[in-house]
Amino acid sequence: MRKLIVITVILAGTLLSGCDLLDIITGGGDTGGGGTGGGGIGGVNFVRMIVEYDFSADVLRNDTGVELHGIFASIGSIGNLAFDQATNSYVAQTPLGSDPYVHITITLDSAGSMITYLNAFRRMSHGVGASWERIDQIIAYDIPYDRVEGYNTFYRIDADDLMWAGLERVEYKDWFKPEYTEQDPMYRMVDPTAAQTFFDNDPNRYIEIEFQQ
């Protein structure tokens, strides 16, 4: 509710002044950060996106069964961002077969006040000797603008957003190689499409997207 009131006030002021919200949150289009990622909404030169989320959900552990498990991921884009002006979408993708492999697509509304679509996927090795492999994916809708810190812009959903229901899917798999595989992992979300229910029940839940200039 707190953030809804803030956003309503900002939007009202935006309509009265005739400015885009993105002009306000980026200081009138001054990119300042010297990025090289190409133009975006309002001419803002974002060069990196970070998708971070945290909540607890039912996870099937291969050897002991179902347990409530923390699902935390921080998925950062790698390489240049591509911006599609026709759809207001940013895309970052590493080459197929790379480790980590990251593919992020984020679509904003025309004013930059809302992320209307988010799909972030990452597959990577980790652990000593890259002995583990992990997959994370989140698909979500309607994540509002939250704040600016320096030259970075944040969109966020957390426990204050009581009526939010935009979480379509969260995938989590983690396995030790070679004993386990993607098809038979050590850990996996019991039902990736039921993530919204678990997200709603976690008082410390959040999804946050950071655009860096």
Question: pLDDT digit string (tens) for 139-160?
Answer: 999 999 999 999 999 999 999 9
DSSP label at residue 44: -
With a cut of 90, say whether residue 47 has pLDDT above it. Answer: yes
What is the arithmetic mean of pLDDT over 25-39? 40
pLDDT in the model for residue 14: 42
Residue 99 CA to residue 122 CA, distance in Å, equals 9
pLDDT in the model for residue 170: 98
With a cut of 80, say whether residue 37 has pLDDT above it. Answer: no
Which range has the worst mean pLDDT, 10-14, 36-40, 184-188, 189-193? 10-14
With a cut of 90, say whether residue 29 has pLDDT above it. Answer: no
Residue 72 CA to residue 74 CA, distance in Å, equals 7
With a cut of 80, say whether residue 36 has pLDDT above it. Answer: no
With a cut of 50, say whether residue 19 has pLDDT above it. Answer: no
Tokens of 60: 């099937």
Considering the chain, what is the average pLDDT of its residues? Answer: 86
With a cut of 60, say whether residue 16 has pLDDT above it. Answer: no
pLDDT in the model for residue 27: 42
Residue 37 CA to residue 158 CA, distance in Å, equals 29
Regarding beta strands 187-189 and 48-61, do their DSSP bridges make them parallel or antiparallel, or are they unpaired?
antiparallel
Tell me the pLDDT tens digit for each residue of 69-115.
999 999 999 999 999 999 999 999 999 999 999 999 999 999 999 99
**Buried b / exposed e along 133-147 (16+ C-beta atoms within 10 A):** bbbbbbbbebbbbbe
Q: What is the pTM of this model?
A: 0.83
Q: Percent helix, strand and coil across the chain, each rounded to 5? A: 15, 45, 35
With a pLDDT cut of 70, the percent of the chain lying above it is 80
With a cut of 60, say whether residue 3 has pLDDT above it. Answer: no
Q: How confident is the model at residue 5 (pLDDT cuts 50, 70, 90)?
A: very low
Helix runs in the chain, H state only: 2-17, 21-25, 195-201
Backbone φ and ψ of 45, nearest 5°: -100, 70
Instruction: Give SS3 for 10.
Output: helix
Name the residue with higher pLDDT: 132 or 8. Answer: 132
On whether the CB atoms of residues 118 and 51 are closer than 8 A, the answer is yes
